């Protein structure tokens, strides 16, 4: 039986995004990409397509645009490389697929979906994930495809901020200080993601990222980790996170939203608010998430100055928000 409501929501990262931090033209461009991602997913939903197809289509729009930190617009690691992560999860079956630390897959979200659909595994990494993608005719590119001057400049700036902390640590093995972590958020437009419910009431979530600017080589964040940065369960919610991934992994933030709904009987909104407070505010973390339940209720939660975000319901009108003071309409 079909559900009367299908909804999609997306995010393009959270951080120090304040009014005046970008030009009017830049803001227009960011809003246009968010609207484009919403439209891509919505087109699938209104024709009876699955929430899985919708979230992957929406994330692919972000991956193909250099404005956001996923795919084409991904940030550099400390040693000047690109390492991409992505995951997708089906709320109906509980199946999930993910790739991590890849550098030659044009659209990591497509590879993540293939891992879910074509293997018995959940997560493939590095060269193995790339070999798998190539064997399934997924578009591959030279790593130079991902290199943009803006991201390279951000790496140089991040290294300047990190110099004192790295010298204090004596090596690159230590976690960044709070000061350095804040500079990461300021200097990146983070992880992208999408959540959707289709006309059958099935939820799905997808997330894709280039990680943190100046991250240590081989570092994997929360995005491809089921329950940390990506989670979906028809009985509770679909969730996609963005921010400093270490906090999301330590708190299993995406799953925590669903668990609070399942075990405490909380509403989607209350569960998100509690998780942002307990897992981020009280622990000094920064970031946000988008969440959606099977009834089509959307909740955005974040503790930063802004988060690129938006949603679209059956009316086909994209609602695009950036700053913290913008209220959901």
Does residue 272 register a pLDDT over 50?
yes
Give the range among 47-51, 157-161, 177-181, 243-247 with minimum mean pLDDT.
177-181
CB 315 within 8 A of CB 329: no
> Please, where are the H alpha helices in 136-287?
149-169, 178-186, 245-251, 253-264, 268-275
In DSSP notation, 13-79 reads EEES--TTSS-HHHHHHHHHHHHHHHHHHHHHHHTT--HHHHHHHHHHHHHTSTTSSSGGGPPPBTT
First to last CA, the chain: 29
Distance of alpha carbon 190 from the chain centroid: 7
pLDDT, position 156: 64
CB 283 within 8 A of CB 251: yes
C-alpha dihedral, 110 to 112 to 116 to 118, nearest 10°: 60
Q: What is the pLDDT of residues 157-209, one digit of tens each?
A: 766 655 322 221 223 333 443 433 443 434 444 799 999 999 999 999 999 99
pLDDT, position 8: 98
Q: Which backbone phi and psi does 312 adopt, to 5 degrees?
A: -145, 135
The model's confidence at residue 223, banded by pLDDT at 50, 70 and 90, is very high
For all residues of the chain together, what is the average pLDDT? Answer: 87
pLDDT, position 176: 43
Q: What is the pLDDT of residues 80-126, one digit of tens each?
A: 788 899 999 999 999 999 999 999 999 999 999 999 999 999 999 99
Does residue 271 register a pLDDT over 70?
yes
Whole-structure pTM value: 0.89
Of 255 and 171, the structure prediction assigns the larger pLDDT to: 255
In DSSP notation, 201-219 reads --EEEEEEE---TTBPTT-
Residues designated catalytic: 191
Give the range among 20-24, 50-54, 208-212, 304-308 with minimum mean pLDDT.
20-24
Does residue 63 register a pLDDT over 50?
yes
Does residue 235 register a pLDDT over 60?
yes
């Amino acid at each position: 039986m079909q559900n009367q409501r299908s909804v999609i929501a997306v995010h393009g990262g959270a951080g120090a995004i304040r009014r005046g931090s970008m030009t009017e033209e830049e803001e227009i461009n960011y809003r246009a990409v968010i609207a484009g991602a919403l439209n891509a997913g919505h087109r699938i939903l209104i024709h009876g397509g699955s929430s899985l197809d919708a979230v992957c289509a929406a994330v692919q729009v972000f991956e193909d645009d250099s404005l956001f930190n996923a795919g084409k617009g991904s940030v550099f690691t400390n040693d000047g490389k690109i390492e991409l992560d992505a995951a997708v999860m089906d709320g109906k079956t509980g199946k999930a697929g993910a790739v991590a630390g890849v550098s030659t897959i044009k659209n990591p979200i497509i590879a993540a979906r293939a891992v879910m659909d074509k293997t018995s595994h959940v997560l493939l990494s590095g060269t193995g994930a790339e070999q798998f993608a190539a064997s399934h005719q997924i578009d591959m590119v030279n790593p130079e495809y991902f290199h943009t001057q803006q991201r390279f400049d951000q790496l140089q700036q991040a290294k300047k901020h990190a110099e004192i902390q790295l010298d204090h640590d004596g090596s690159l093995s230590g976690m960044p200080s709070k000061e350095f972590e804040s500079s990461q958020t300021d200097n990146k437009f983070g992880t992208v993601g999408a959540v959707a419910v289709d006309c059958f009431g099935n939820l799905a979530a997808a997330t894709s990222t280039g990680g943190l600017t100046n991250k240590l080589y081989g570092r994997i964040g929360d995005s491809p980790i089921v329950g940390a940065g990506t989670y979906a369960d028809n009985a509770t919610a679909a969730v996609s996170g963005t921010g400093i991934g270490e906090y999301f992994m330590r708190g299993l933030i995406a799953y925590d939203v669903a668990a609070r709904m399942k075990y405490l009987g909380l509403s989607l909104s209350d569960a998100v608010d509690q998780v942002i407070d307990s897992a981020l505010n009280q622990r000094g973390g920064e970031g946000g998430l988008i969440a959606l339940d099977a009834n089509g209720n959307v909740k955005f939660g974040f503790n930063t100055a802004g988060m690129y975000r938006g949603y679209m319901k059956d009316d086909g009108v994209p609602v695009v928000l950036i700053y913290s003071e913008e209220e959901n309409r």
